[in-house]
Each structure stands twice: as C-alpha cells, then as structure tokens.
Homo-oligomer: A and B are copies of this chain.
Amino acid sequence: MEPFAFTPIGIIRTPFIDKFGTPRQGRMVPAAQARVEFVDSAPAELWLRGLEGFSHCWLIGVFHEHMHEPAPPLVHPPRMGGGAVGVFATRSPHRPNPVALTLAEIVGVEGRTLHVAGIDLLDGTPILDIKPFLPEADRADEARSGWVDAHPWPGLPVRITDSATARLDRIYELSPPPVPRDQFERLMVETLAIDPRAVADRAKIIEDGQPRRFWLRLYDVDVGFWYQGAAIIIEELRFALRSPLYERFESGNSLQDD
C-alpha cells in the first residue's frame, strides 16, 4: 500500500529530555506539564477554539526517535518482567508505524498555546493532531485489559534526602525550572515511583559493592537516585551535564551553599 504523509502541526515541550525516565504511558505522571507549540503558519487560535471547554484531549504524535528503528512483532513489556506479547497488545513506541497516542489533561488554552498535563512524551515530539476526549465515544467503562490487569505498574516509595532538598533550594535560587518548586518535587516523585529502569537493569542496583547511581533528567536538572530494596532514594540534584547551566553553575561550585 502507498504511504500517507503527515506534516506536524507543531511540537510538544515537556520535562522529559531523555528517553530514560519518560513515562511509558500518559496519566502515570499527573505533574508532567507540557505545552503544544504550533508552527508559525498555523491558525492555532482558531483551531483551538472551544477546546478549553473540555477537560481532556487526545494528542496524536510521532515517536520520532523510533521512526526508522526496526519494530519487532513481539515486545517484552517492562512491567511484565520477561514475557513477550504482540506489539499491538502493547503501547511500546517501537511499532510498525510509530504513532503516539496520549490522553492529556487540558490545563488551559492561552492564545496559540495549549497547556496540558499527564504527558508521557519526549520533549520535542512532533504533534500531528489534537482531538477532544468524548466520554460517549472514548470511554469503555467495562474494559478488560489482558496481560496488563495481571501486571500493574509498581508504586515504589520515593524519599528525598536532606542534601537533595538543600540542592533543590539552591537550584531554585540560581535558575529555577519552569514549574513551581512543589510541582517539580511531585514530578520527580511520580516519575520515579513507576520505576524508569529497563528490565535488564533491575538486577544491577549494586556496583562495586555500592548502590548504583542512576540519573533522571527533568528539564535542566539531573536527578541522582539509587535503589534501597524496593524504595528509591533521591540523593543528588545538579544542573544537567548537557545543559548550558552546567557550565555556568556546576563547575564553580556555586551550587554549594555559600
């Protein structure tokens, strides 16, 4: 069959700069706020008129980082911890056509910008379409969900150490992330509680006899954490290695309390 070509109407800006830690589904991280930025030529204010009356919308996007990767017919879903199912029984981004579908909470429409929350998309994801959520058409109240029913997401307890809290104070003094501080904390906790590790890393939480440090990037901040049994401890925060803020603040120790 002949291919169909779709030109993005814009991109979405989200806290998730790396694949690692990007939630595997929408609504898993309610604090993940984002905004759709339309291409300049788009009549965005007209397109969006009336959408502010809805509480939720669908975002249809492109898993652009998986666009030219192979899409094996069987997938090992992370929370299954081993078993394999067909790709159409999963929401894996490795798909024959890597189309993303996310149910987003509408936070507000502001001129040409749509603000949403509960997002599971990588920063910069191209958006093809936006549709209102219609309960009459989109809600299956009596749904049965196969292997997923038997494999709920974990809800790991997440603790933030005092030193990480002090670091966060300092980060908010120097160059605050674009969300209020309490929301940033919720974002860290909600993102980690569903366990971002790949299946292969589950057993590798000790390295050279020490707890292995993992890094989650949110906006311009790297969040360092380790596993203590089934719990997650956030111990370190710094401006992200690949962010201009790293050069500016991290090298000269200005993140330390004076």
Q: Which residues of A contact B (CB under 8 A)?
A: 1-9, 11, 25-28, 39, 42-43, 46-58, 60, 62, 64, 67, 73-74, 85-91, 95-97, 99, 101, 103, 105, 126, 128-148, 152-153
Total copies of this chain within the assembly: 2
Q: B62–A27 contact, CB under 8 A?
A: no
Question: Closest CB-CB distance, A55 to chain B, in whole Å?
Answer: 4
Q: For the complex, give the distance between the alpha carbons of A169 and B49 in Å.
A: 49
Question: Is B91's CB under 8 angstroms from A55's CB?
Answer: no
Contact (Cβ within 8 A) A88 B130: yes
* Residues of chain B within 8 A of A152, CB atoms compared: 136
Q: Are B103 and A140 in contact (CB under 8 A)?
A: yes
Q: What residues of B have a CB within 8 angstroms of the CB of A50 in the complex?
A: 85-86, 89-90, 146-147
Task: Tell me, rounded to whole Å, the shortest Cβ–Cβ distance linking A20 to chain B.
Answer: 20
Give the CA-CA distance A148 to B139 in the complex, in Å: 15
The A interface is mostly helix, strand or loop, or mixed, namely mixed
Contact A88 B132 (CB under 8 A): yes
With A1-B7, A3-B5, A144-B54: A60-B101 Cβ-Cβ less than 8 Å: yes
Q: How far is the CA of A46 from the CA of B96 in the complex (A)?
A: 12
The listed residue (B46, B91, B97, B142) touching A86 by CB distance below 8 A is B46
Shortest distance from the beta carbon of A9 to any chain B beta carbon, whole Å = 5
The reply to whether A138 and B138 form a contact with Cβ atoms under 8 Å apart is yes
A46 nearest CB neighbor, chain B only: B73
